[in-house]
Structure 1
Amino acid sequence: MRLGILGTIQLAATLIFAVPVGVFGLNTLLDGQQILGGGLLAVAVLMVVLPHVLTTPGDIPAKIGEKLVGSAVKTPDDE
């Protein structure tokens, strides 16, 4: 998965919030509270994974544009 400059900045901003939640979840898990610690670890992982998996309303125009450009411009065949 390639990220552009904006994607990298968005990932860094997400990690700023997800890492403390994950560390607190790991500490809680190691202290013996499995449900709370596991839940917090799951939340931290979902904070990072979901923005890359889900299609948001802001992504729809970009996807439409990619399909239109892809259908209008044909790549030359390498011979």
Structure 2
Amino acid sequence: MGIISTFGTVVTLVLALPVAMLGTLFLAQGQTLSGIAMIVVAVLMFVVKTYVTTPDDLPMMAAERTVGTIAKDPDEDEQN
């Protein structure tokens, strides 16, 4: 996982955590349907960002591969 995708994951968590906290608050107040719905939305936000490749992800993936090809770890050079 590169730095760009790590940053994207952090941003997604920053957006999804308040939704999950709102769902937890709804559950604590006895609003079961609303609470579960909010928690499901928060989980889906994270799952879609993590596991679904969108057209916006393609340039980022290409940039990470290019950087990975140009800047190899010194340990990898010693093993080969």
More helix, by proportion: 2
In structure 2, C-alpha distance between the alignment counterparts of 1:43 and 1:60, rounded to whole Å: 25
Aligned mates of 1:47, 1:4 — CA distance in 2: 20
| C-alpha spacing 1:13/1:60, structure 2 compared with 1 (3 Å) | closer
TM-score, length basis structure 2:
0.67
Which TM-score applies when normalising by structure 1? Answer: 0.68
Query: Residue 9 of structure 2 contacts residue 50 of structure 2 at CA under 8 Å; is this kept in 1?
Result: no
1:24 partner amino acid? L
Q: Identify which range, 17-26 or 47-56, moves more after superposition.
A: 47-56
* Unmatched 5+ stretches in structure 2: 66-80
Counterpart of 1:16 in structure 2 is: 14
- Please tell me the residue identity of whatever aligns with 1:47: M
Q: Which residue of 2 aligns with 1:25?
A: 23
Report deviation, 1:10: 0.4
Q: CA deviation at 1:4?
A: 1.0
In structure 1, what is the equivalent of residue 68 of structure 2? none
Structure 1 gap segments, 5+ residues each: 67-79
